C-alpha cells in the first residue's frame, strides 16, 4: 500500500510535541528542574536583530545564565529555525490573549512601578506564546528558565531561587528585564499596526512661482485701479451736472469780457433768471389793525 508522507512531517510532529509538553509542565512535569525542562523544549532564545538590543540593555547570555543551569545543545540546536512570519503574533491575535489593561500592567511592571504579583496571571499566556515562538523576543537562558518555572510550572520565587542557586533579588531582576523586553515588543507591534493603518504621506515638490512678488503686486494694483475707475464713472453717470452749467451764450460772454474793466469780476445776465418775489405789504395792514398811521417811510 503506497502512502504519501509530507516532507515536513518532522516539523509538524515537533510542534505538536512542544504544545503538549508545555501544557503538561503544570502537572506531573512540574517537578522537572529548569535545566531538564529547557532541554526538552529547546527554546529559541536569539531572534535576529533583537540580539543587538539585548546587548545594549546589558544582558548577554553569559551574564544572565546561572552557572548551575546547563545550556541545551551547543547553541545551534537550541536556536532552531527562524519562525515563519505567519507564526508571529498580529495585533488581532494579540487582542485575543491580552487586553489593553493587561498591556498596561505589564508596562508598569517593566518600569518598576508595581510588584511582580500584579502580572502573575499573565505569565502562563506569555510563557506559552514565547516557547511556541509567537513572541520573537531575545532572552537569555536564565530568563527563559525563570519564565518557564513561573509561567508554566507555576513555581514560586523561593522555589526558583533554590533550583537556580541564585538570590531572590537577582531572580526578580532577570525576570523584570525579560518582562520589559516583552512589553516593548508588544508596544512596537501595536505601533506598527497603527502606522500601517494611517494614510501614507505624499512627497510634496515645491516649484518656483510663475511670477515674482513685485510683478504680482503691480498686477494687483492695476486691477484695483481699474475697479476704482469703473466705480467713479458709474458715480458720475448717476449725478446730473446740468445744474452746474455756466449761463450765457458765446456772444454774451464776448461782449461782457470786452466791456469789463475788471476781468476778475464779470457778470452775465441769465436767460432763465427767476422773477424776484413781490414784497408783502404787511406794515399798512398792521397799522390799521392797531389804529395807528404810517408815513411813507413806514414810521408812525
- 128-158: b or e for each residue (b if 16 or more CB lie within 10 Å)? bbbbbbbbbbbbbbbbbbbbbbbbbbebebe
Place of cell 486691477: 223
Mean pLDDT calculated for residue range 47-54: 49
Measured at the CA of 197, the angle between CA 196 and CA 200, to 5 degrees, comes to 70
pLDDT tens for residues 226-276?
A: 999 888 888 877 777 666 667 767 777 777 777 656 666 666 565 554 555
Place of cell 485701479: 225
When mean pLDDT is compared across 49-63, 106-120, 171-185, 244-258, the lowest value belongs to 49-63
pLDDT confidence of residue 283: 53
Model confidence at 284, in pLDDT bands (50, 70, 90)? Answer: low
DSSP annotation string for 159-220: HHHHHHT--HHHHHHHHHHHHHHHHHHHHHHHHHHHHHHSPPPPPPPP---SS-HHHHHHHH
CA dihedral 68, 61, 34, 135 (to 10 degrees): 180
pLDDT confidence of residue 171: 93
pLDDT confidence of residue 291: 54
For the chain, percent of residues with pLDDT exceeding 70? 67
Mean confidence (pLDDT) of the chain: 76
Output the CA torsion sign for 136, 171, 142, 153: negative
pLDDT tens for residues 74-96?
A: 443 444 444 444 477 888 888 88
| Candidate ranges 25-34, 78-87, 201-210, 281-290; pick with highest mean pLDDT | 25-34
Place of cell 458720475: 236
pLDDT confidence of residue 146: 93
The torsion angles phi and psi of 111, rounded to 5 degrees, stand at: -95, 10
Output the CA torsion sign for 153, 156, 160, 163: negative
pLDDT confidence of residue 66: 64
CA dihedral 165, 124, 61, 176 (to 10 degrees): -80
Amino acid at each position: 500500500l503506497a502512502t504519501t508522507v509530507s516532507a515536513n512531517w518532522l516539523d509538524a510532529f515537533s510542534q505538536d510535541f512542544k504544545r503538549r509538553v508545555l501544557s503538561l509542565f503544570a502537572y506531573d512535569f512540574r517537578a522537572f528542574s529548569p535545566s531538564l525542562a529547557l532541554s526538552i523544549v529547546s527554546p529559541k532564545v536569539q531572534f535576529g536583530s533583537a540580539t543587538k538590543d539585548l546587548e545594549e540593555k546589558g544582558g548577554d547570555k553569559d551574564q544572565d545564565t546561572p552557572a548551575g543551569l546547563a545550556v541545551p545543545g551547543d547553541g545551534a540546536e537550541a536556536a532552531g529555525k527562524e519562525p515563519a512570519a505567519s507564526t508571529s503574533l498580529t495585533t488581532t491575535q494579540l487582542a485575543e490573549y491580552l487586553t489593553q489593561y493587561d498591556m498596561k500592567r505589564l508596562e508598569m511592571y517593566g518600569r518598576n512601578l508595581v510588584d511582580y504579583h500584579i502580572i502573575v496571571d499573565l505569565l502562563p499566556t506569555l510563557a506559552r506564546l514565547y516557547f511556541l515562538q509567537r513572541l520573537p523576543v531575545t532572552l537569555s537562558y536564565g530568563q527563559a528558565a525563570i519564565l518557564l518555572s513561573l509561567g508554566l510550572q507555576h513555581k514560586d520565587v523561593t522555589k526558583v531561587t533554590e533550583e537556580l542557586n541564585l538570590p531572590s533579588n537577582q531572580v526578580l531582576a532577570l525576570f523584570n528585564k525579560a518582562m520589559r523586553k516583552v512589553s516593548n515588543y508588544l508596544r512596537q507591534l501595536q505601533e506598527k499596526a497603527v502606522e500601517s493603518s494611517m494614510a501614507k504621506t505624499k512627497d510634496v515638490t515645491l516649484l518656483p512661482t510663475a511670477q515674482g512678488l513685485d510683478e504680482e503686486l503691480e498686477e494687483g494694483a492695476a486691477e484695483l485701479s481699474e475697479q476704482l475707475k469703473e466705480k467713479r464713472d458709474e458715480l458720475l453717470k448717476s449725478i446730473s451736472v446740468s445744474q452746474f452749467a455756466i449761463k450765457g451764450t458765446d456772444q454774451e460772454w464776448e461782449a461782457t469780457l470786452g466791456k469789463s474793466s475788471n476781468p476778475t469780476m464779470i457778470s452775465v445776465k441769465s436767460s432763465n433768471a427767476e422773477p424776484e418775489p413781490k414784497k408783502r405789504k404787511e406794515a399798512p395792514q398792521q397799522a390799521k389793525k392797531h389804529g395807528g398811521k404810517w408815513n411813507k417811510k413806514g414810521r408812525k
